[in-house]
Structure 1
Amino acid sequence: MGKRSILWCVFLLWISGCALASNAERKEYADRVKAAFVKGWGAYMNYAYGMDAVNPIAKRGHNWYEETLLMTPVDAYSTMCLMGLEKEKTEARNLIFERLDFNKDMYVQQFEIAIRIVGGLVSAYQLDGDKRFLDLAVDLGDRLMPVFDTPTGIPYRMVNLKTGKIEGNVTNPCEVGSMLLEYGMLSKLTGNPKYYNACKKGIVEVYKRRGKTGLLGGGINCDTGEWTDTKAHIRGGIDAFYEYLLKGYILFGDQDLKAMWEQSLSSVNKYLEENTDNGYWIGEADMNTGERTATVFGALDCFWNGCLVLEGELERAKKLQESIYKMWTLYGIEPESINYKTMEVLSPYYMIRPEAIEATYYVWKATGDEKYYEMGKVMFESIEKYCQVENGYVQLKDVRTKETWDTLESFFFAETMKYCYLFFAPESVFSFKNYVLNTEAHPLKNTWDKDWKGDYKMK
């Protein structure tokens, strides 16, 4: 990445002032974000108590699987800690310690459970100090580990929490690699390298099979290592694999991750980026030929800007931020995906995803340019205007019509409200010097010497 190291860019993020907005305005907005969080949490407590998530309009809750895993309380806890919401923390803690049980005869998606629940519990332990959070994380981590017992080391997608049986032998890079922070934290906090080693092996095995362009495809068979989808992109299915190469290096100092990240960044810049009349975008190409296969950009792709900022690629980050904001303001709030050549909406729904707000926060912190702060205000106001209902917040079926979609998933609390809050919160609330945010925005703290690879080395 030239003369500046990745860790130096993290330091610059830490010391940047971003104090142009008045303290009074920032406090007003911070209080409004906390009020939005509390309103959403109130909907959960009133209508979905003890379940995974809430449907505010129908005044009921729902679970992801046959039984609850308390997705919302676990996911919400780290944000409650940063916001200083003592009443809500007590409510969530009581639920978690009284009712959270992983000895359930049901299959779960290993990746989603790792980033939300393992990550949420580890972060809660570091922010709160109660070892019961870590004990729960270790119990769950052990129940997820059978997914790595495959011919290639590439993990299966699903695991039964009680029996350890696994299924889902066709996966994608995201579900292989975007647990490394969570499993790495378990290894460092328990002194047992098995979690990190298993996850890193899967990452390396996928990376070794990258295309001639250096890019990864969208699907791979865990038993044979053969690609089932050769379309390369940065959206869902691949996204957090790249994110965790970079953040894994920052958190653990693993030079193997740094090497894989730098090669992957070079390939994305070479084959996927595209300058058009509508702006600068990251698209889709064949992983072997580099031939453009689609001009799609969406809500999940916005995470890339945080990576560009951490890497020190600020000029690219500023260009991509303009495109992200253009997509957001196309209909007053972002659609799930667009064709960036025609600016046609391809997937019209909005799930109250956080990635665009996350991207804007990173660019603002890195540059101190007040226009990015103003973008953050617009994004929060959009959620307030279009997603707020009488007794909570909901998603949108179509951003063009603003038709509501009656569900509020846990990442509203873990990510969307956290990034909105960090825009306006005092600088003392969060520091990139102390924490790395996982893909679910749970703060993970380095408490050890870096330059660590685990026992599994890239060959």
Structure 2
Amino acid sequence: MIVSRRSYMLPTIILICLTYILFSSLPPGARTPHGHHHHHHKQHLDEEPPHKNTRFRWVKHVEQFPISKYIPLPTAPSSPIPRIQYKFPRESWFARWGRTRRQRAVKKAFKHAWKGYKENAWLRDELSPLSGGHRETFAGWAATLVDSLDTLVIMDLMDEFEEALEAIEQIDFTTTDAIQINVFETNIRYLGGLLGAYDLTHGKYPILLQKATEIADMIYGCFDTHNRMPQSRWEWTRSAGGLNIEASRNTILAEIGSLNLEFTRMSQLTKDPKYFDAIQRIANFLEEEQPKTKVPGMWPMMVNARDLELADPRFTIGGMADSTYEYLPKEHMLLGGQTNQYRKMYDSFMGAMKSRLLFRPMTEDGRDILFAGNLHAGASKINMEPQWEHLKCFLGGTVGIGSKVFDRPEELSIARKLVDGCIWAYDVMPTGIMPEILHLTVCKEGRSCKLSQNSHSSSDAESIAQGKKLPPGVADIPDPQYLLRPEAIESVFIMYRITGDNSLQDSAWRMFQNIERMARTAYGHAAIADVRDPESPLMDYMESFWLAETLKYFYLTFSEPDLVNLDEYVLNTEAHPFRRPSAYV
């Protein structure tokens, strides 16, 4: 509507009032965006909470499929869990100087990205680090803010932490503009972030548990199905309207198998058994089916959670499956060894992985490193694809922890070779950064694993001619991106804390410097489009795990070993530290 210049004052005033009413009633996503990088974050604090006018709101209601009796937390006597961390000797002055110099560099990088988020995307999910805008990716509940709370504590940024605590009071976890809620991501980032900050500050800030309970009680609604398996992409508005929901016949394994730690910790802190009951039903199902799958000891990538069937022929420890396996030793730790269920599942998994997935690659120097491939279980044969991905780099840390807590010392060398494999995958790239996915050349058993100088095949030559820049031993790089992922430094950190090997700190420092050099922007850090190219363009997103995980793990690698001691805390798959029962020897 355009007002004529001949209009009088009254119509003009009426137009202004109507415009104000119209725009103040629009849903948040429909508002005209303003230049966030020109505004200080305090102006964002004065805005309306992001979901004030959303149509649907979650309220507690009578369940469609109520539980008659909850499965309680285990009450058996705790079994002593062996110590994980190396007994570090007293540090020399020179070693401390070098370590803290690196630690300060990581903290500086964090403060740069946090400043960019605070000034340009406050109370939004993610900063857009090239444009200075923001993205809503996880229900619009300020994912980066909540995900970063315990990193602020770990880095002793307590003024920023308390400022963030004031902001989270504005987040309403009972409503969202999202039609579906990704329960897994909500669980690990939001619930995990609140619980981690609560445990790390020893319960000093009750608002953290209050908000954790708010979000846990909401997503608990996803379990209200006929078999109590969660609807992982939860149609929450159906539940809010009193309608039935069902678990999916195509549920990602990681999304159903990685809720244990957070829901267990909720029951431990609140004394409410419903949370543990919810995940224990999943654990019982997975344990029962584990020996019956096409690769006994492992679960396929996709689960028919509605019919409780595991028919998918694809098996991996990478994306879509990873954290289910990661949580096996970690849930054992969080339960204080009060049950052997997770020990048995881990034992079965390790048998399958060692016999079917692990392989040594061909490298230029014949290095003794390990990777884990993918499996496809056909009618008569199980085929292994030598594919590796950045997401799989968690495995070295997990096997390292398992070797300690389950007293399997012979597997620590496997863990170290897996960690060294990820370090190698960083070091051989032109940018010093590992790509999202790469395919490797398998070293045949009983043969030398060192590539000869004339070992390039015609396909290698063709790849080089096409400009793919493949390092020796790498057969293909189908996805050359680096998305600011944490898995490699996660395992480097864990292996350093287990072994005390200072060379791992040196590897971490190389990794950090290369990422910082390539990814830094005016507003934060951005994902890299092609790690084969030292001049690679950047992509305009910075996921919350950059601050919650990647920089946290770099910082802890250069910290004193008692900061987030692995004998006192267990870290969830988003690097949020939950306090362990003190049942270790």
Same fold, TM-score > 0.5, yes or no = yes
Deviation at 1:432, TM superposition (A): 1.1
Structure 1 window deviating more from structure 2 (163-172 vs 219-228): it is 163-172
Match of 2:213 in 1: 138
Task: Give how far 1:44 is off.
Answer: 0.6
The residue number in structure 2 matching 1:191 is: 271
Aligned to 1:373: 505
Aligned to 1:412: 546
Q: Does 1:217 align with 2:300?
A: yes
1:281 aligns with 2:354: no
Partner of 1:26, secondary structure, is helix
Structure 2 distance, partners of 1:268, 1:6, is 26
**Letter aligned with residue 108 of structure 2:** A
Tell me how far 1:350 sits from its aligned partner. Answer: 0.6
What corresponds to 1:333 in structure 2? 433
CA contact (8 A) 2:435 2:477 kept: yes
Question: Which stretch shifts more, 265-274 or 154-163?
Answer: 154-163
Residues in 2 aligned to 1:140 and 1:290: alpha-carbon distance in whole angstroms: 45
- Of the three residues 286, 290, 296, the one matched with 1:206 is 286
The match for 2:111 is: 38
Q: How far off its partner does 1:324 sit? A: 0.8
Partner of 1:266: 351
Give the corresponding residue for 1:297. 388
1:121 to 194, 201, 216: 194
- Cα offset for 1:326? 1.6
Residue 86 (structure 1) aligned to one of 158, 170, 174: 158
What does the per-residue CA deviation read over 1:6-55, in whole Å, with 9 as the maximum and x for residues that have no partner? Answer: 932xx141534595871011111111111111100111111111100000
Match of 1:95 in 2: 167
The aligned counterpart of 1:147 is 222
State the number of aligned residues: 443
The answer on whether the counterparts of 1:153 and 1:205 sit within 8 Å (CA) in structure 2 is no
Determine the C-alpha separation between the residues in 1 that align with 2:247 and 2:435. Answer: 30
Match of 1:323 in 2: 421
Aligned partners of 1:47 and 1:56 also within 8 Å: no
Instruction: Give matches, 1:2-13, under 5 Å.
Output: 7-8=81-82, 11-13=83-85
TM-score, normalized by length of structure 1? 0.91
The worse-fitting range, judged by mean Cα deviation, of 265-274 and 362-371 is 362-371
Describe the SS at the equivalent of 2:85: helix
Distance between the aligned counterparts of 1:302 and 1:202, measured in 2? 25
The structural deviation recorded for 1:379 is 1.0
**1:410 positional shift:** 0.6
Q: Output the amino acid matched with 1:381.
A: Q
- State which drifts further: 73-82 or 422-431: 422-431
Deviation per CA, 1:138-190: give whole Å up to 9, x if none.
12111112322334443221224565364661212211121100000001111
Q: TM-score w.r.t. structure 2 length?
A: 0.72
Equivalent residue for 2:143, pick from 40, 64, 71: 71
* Separation of aligned partners in 1, 2:229 and 2:195: 24
Letter in 2 for 1:366: I
* Distance (Å, rounded) in 1 between the aligned partners of 2:280 and 2:417: 33
* 1:220 Cα offset (Å): 1.3
Q: Which has the higher helix share?
A: 1
Secondary structure at 1:389's aligned position in 2? coil
The 3-state SS of whatever aligns with 2:221 is helix
CA distance in 2, matches of 1:300, 1:18: 35
Q: Contact 1:152 / 1:205 at 8 angstroms: preserved in 2?
A: no
The residue type equivalent to 2:440 in the other structure is: Y
Distance in 2 between residues matched to 1:186 and 1:329, nearest whole Å: 41
Q: What are the ranges of 5 or more consecutive residues in structure 1 without an aligned counterpart?
A: 451-459
**Residue matched to 1:256:** 341
| Alignment counterpart, residue 483 of structure 2, candidates 351, 370, 373 | 351
* Corresponding residue for residue 456 of structure 1: none
Distance 2:270 2:344 in 1: 27
* 1:457 match: none
Partners of 1:345 and 1:121 lie apart in 2 by 37
Contact 2:572 2:578 in 1 (8 A): yes
More strand by proportion, 1 or 2? 1
| SS in structure 1 at match of 2:169 | helix
1:295 & 1:358 partners in 2: Cα distance? 22
**One-letter amino acid of the structure 1 residue matched with residue 137 of structure 2:** W
Distance 1:328 1:383 in 2: 10
The one-letter code sitting in structure 1 at the alignment partner of 2:360 is N
Structure 2: distance between partners of 1:173 and 1:321? 24
CA pair 225-19 structure 1, distance change in 2 beyond 3 A: farther
**Structure 2 CA distance for aligned equivalents of residues 17 and 225 of structure 1:** 51
CA contact (8 A) 2:400 2:416 kept: no
How many angstroms apart in 2 are the aligned matches of 1:220 and 1:124?
Answer: 32
**Larger deviation, residues 400-409 vs 167-176:** 167-176
In 2, the alpha carbon distance for the partners of 1:284 and 1:18 equals 43
CA contact (8 A) 2:333 2:580 kept: no
Say if 1:101 and 1:12 are closer, same or farther in 2 by CA, change over 3 A.
closer
Written as runs of structure 1 = structure 2, the 5 A alignment for 1:169-180 is 169=248, 170-180=250-260
Residues 1:422 and 2:505 aligned together: no
Letter aligned with residue 396 of structure 1: I
Q: Identity of counterpart residues, as a percentage?
A: 28
Q: Distance in 2 between matches of 1:290 and 1:352?
A: 37
Task: Tell me the equivalent position of 1:243.
Answer: 326
**Residues 378, 33 of structure 1: CA spacing in aligned structure 2 closer, same or farther, 3 A cutoff?**
same
Cα distance between partner residues in 1 of 2:246 and 2:117: 32
Q: Residue 6 of structure 1 contacts residue 250 of structure 1 at CA under 8 Å; is this kept in 2?
A: no
Matched-pair contact (CA < 8 Å) for 2:520–2:526? yes
